[in-house]
């Protein structure tokens, strides 16, 4: 059985009031459920930035092209941008590429919680493949292929049964 590894690092100062306030704003803006989702996004960003710093020092064109192509494919960078632009990325950029955020921004859901519910209940498909993870990072090519299925508005009167 494969050992699952931790996908994030805890902050050095967990009770920093400025960081807590910023975290609350991110949770409210992107409709996240818990602090762990922000920490994972920060770790993803940290890895991209670390690789960019190493590539600036190495000046390896092939590895640089691979990293930049990956970030363009994900939709974090535009074609023609360089390693300096990788260092300028923020957590908001990573969180903006999540499936939950894109479903909300495209108007397929009215609230971020509704978008999350559609995804976890299996109503959202990309390329005819159901995605049940709201944290799925959507690639640029997949963005136009997001479809919400089988969503019917519920009756306003929950106790009203008109069957008889």
Q: What are the sequence ranges of the domains in the chain?
A: 18-92, 98-152
Q: Looking at 24-38, 40-54, 92-106, 140-154, which range is the least confident one? A: 140-154
Mean pLDDT of the chain: 91
Res 157 pLDDT > 50:
yes
Res 76 pLDDT > 60:
yes
Length of the chain: 164
Confidence of residue 154 (pLDDT cuts 50, 70, 90): low
Rounded CA-CA distance 122/69 in Å is: 30
CATH 3.10.290.10 given to domain 98-152: yes
CB-count exposure of residue 94 (10 Å: 0-12, 13-18, 19+): buried
Rounded CA-CA distance 136/119 in Å is: 10
Res 153 pLDDT > 80:
no
Residue pair 42/8 in contact (Cβ under 8 Å)? The answer is yes
């Amino acid at each position: 059985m494969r050992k699952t590894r931790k996908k994030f690092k805890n902050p050095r100062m967990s009770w920093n009031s400025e960081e807590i306030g910023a975290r609350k704003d991110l949770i409210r803006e992107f409709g996240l459920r818990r602090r762990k989702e922000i920490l994972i996004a920060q770790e993803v960003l940290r890895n991209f930035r670390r690789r960019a710093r190493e590539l600036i020092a190495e000046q390896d064109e092939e590895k640089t092209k691979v990293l930049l192509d990956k970030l363009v494919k994900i939709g974090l960078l535009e074609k023609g941008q360089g390693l300096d632009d990788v260092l300028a990325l923020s957590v908001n950029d990573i969180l903006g590429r999540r499936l939950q955020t894109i479903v909300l921004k495209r108007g397929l859901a009215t609230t971020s919680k509704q978008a999350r519910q559609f995804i976890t209940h299996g109503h959202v498909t990309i390329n005819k493949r159901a995605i049940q993870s709201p944290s799925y990072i959507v690639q640029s090519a997949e963005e136009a292929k997001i479809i919400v299925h089988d969503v019917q508005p519920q009756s306003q009167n929950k106790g009203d049964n008109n069957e008889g």
